[in-house]
C-alpha cells in the first residue's frame, strides 16, 4: 500500500520498490526519511552512494578530504575525467544530484578524526564505511558503538572483498570490528590498493552489497550481517560466510 505522503513523482520513481511486499509505500517512505553517512567517495563509496541515491535515501552525508585523481577513475565510477582535481565529496554531490535531485547531499570535505567523528556520526541514522585504512575503521567502529549507530563496513584488495554489519551494543550475539581484528595487521600483511592493486569491478560488487545491507537495516527486513563476515573471491567466483563472535576482552564492546 502506498504511503499517503508520497508525491506522484516519487511513486513513479520508486515503483519497483513499492511493489515489493517487503518494502511497499511505507518502507519507501522510511528510506526517504533516512539519513545515511558514507565514509569515503572512492572505490566502495562510489557505487554505494549511487545506489543509495537511486533508492531514495533522503539525506546522504559524504566524508572525504581527498581530490579526484586520474588513477581513481578505473574503479571510482561516480567521478568523471572532467572532475580530476576536484574535491571527491563535491564531485559525489554533483553526481548524486544528477541521479536523484530529491536527495539532500551533505559534502563533508574533511578527514575523519577523533575531534570530529562524534559530530559527524551523530547527525545520521546509519553509517557505511568505505575507508581504506585500519586507523579510520577503528575510529568509526568505536564511534558508532558509542553512539549506537549501525555500521555497514566493507573492504577490498586485489581480487578479494569482505563485508559485515556491526551493532555491538545490541548484546552478546553482536560483535564489533575489534572483535575480529583486535590489532591492526601490518602494512606487509595488508598493503594499500595503490601498492597491491585492486580489480575495479570488485569495488562495484562490494559497494552494491553495502547498499543492500544499508537498505535492509533501515527497513528492518531480511537477515542482518551482524555476527557474520561475508567474503568474496572474485577469481574463484565464490562467497564464503564466517560466523564471528564477540570477544570477551574487546576494548570497545567487551562489556556489551
Q: Would you name the residues annotated as active-site residues? A: 193
Q: To which H or E segment does residue 230 belong?
A: strand 228-233
CB atoms within 10 A of CB 16: 8
Q: For cell 569491478, name the residue.
A: 201
DSSP assignment of 162-202, as one string? EEEEE-GGG-TT---HHHH-SSPPPTTTS--HHHH-B-HHH
Show the CA angle centred on residue 149, arms to residues 191 and 44, nearest 5°. Answer: 35
Task: Label each residue of 86-115 as H, E or C.
Answer: CEHHHHHHHHHHHHCCCCEEEEECCCCCCC
Task: Report the alpha-carbon distance of residue 18 to residue 224 in Å, rounded.
Answer: 21
Amino acid at each position: 500500500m502506498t504511503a499517503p505522503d508520497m508525491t506522484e513523482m516519487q511513486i513513479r520513481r520508486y515503483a519497483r520498490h513499492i511493489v515489493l511486499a517487503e518494502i511497499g509505500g511505507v518502507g519507501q517512505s522510511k528510506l526517504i526519511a533516512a539519513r545515511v553517512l558514507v565514509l569515503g567517495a572512492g572505490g566502495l563509496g562510489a557505487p554505494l552512494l549511487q545506489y543509495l541515491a537511486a533508492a531514495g535515501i533522503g539525506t546522504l552525508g559524504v566524508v572525504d578530504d581527498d581530490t579526484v585523481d586520474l588513477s581513481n577513475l578505473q574503479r571510482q565510477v561516480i567521478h568523471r575525467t572532467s572532475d580530476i582535481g576536484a574535491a571527491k565529496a563535491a564531485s559525489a554531490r554533483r553526481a548524486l544530484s544528477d541521479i536523484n535531485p530529491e536527495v539532500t547531499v551533505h559534502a563533508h570535505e574533511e578527514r575523519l578524526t577523533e575531534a570530529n567523528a562524534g559530530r559527524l556520526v551523530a547527525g545520521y541514522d546509519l553509517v557505511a564505511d568505505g575507508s581504506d585504512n585500519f586507523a579510520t575503521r577503528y575510529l568509526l567502529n568505536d564511534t558508532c558503538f558509542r553512539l549506537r549507530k549501525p555500521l555497514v563496513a566493507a573492504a577490498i584488495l586485489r581480487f578479494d572483498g569482505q563485508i559485515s554489519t556491526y551493532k555491538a551494543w545490541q548484546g552478546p550475539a553482536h560483535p564489533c570490528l575489534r572483535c575480529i581484528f583486535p590489532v591492526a595487521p601490518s602494512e606487509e600483511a595488508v598493503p594499500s590498493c595503490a601498492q597491491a592493486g585492486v580489480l575495479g569491478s570488485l569495488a562495484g560488487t562490494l559497494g552494491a552489497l553495502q547498499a543492500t545491507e544499508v537498505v535492509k537495516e533501515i527497513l528492518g527486513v531480511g537477515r542482518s550481517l551482524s555476527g557474520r563476515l561475508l567474503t568474496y573471491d572474485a577469481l574463484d567466483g565464490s562467497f564464503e560466510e564466517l560466523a564471528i563472535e564477540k570477544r570477551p576482552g574487546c576494548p570497545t564492546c567487551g562489556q556489551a
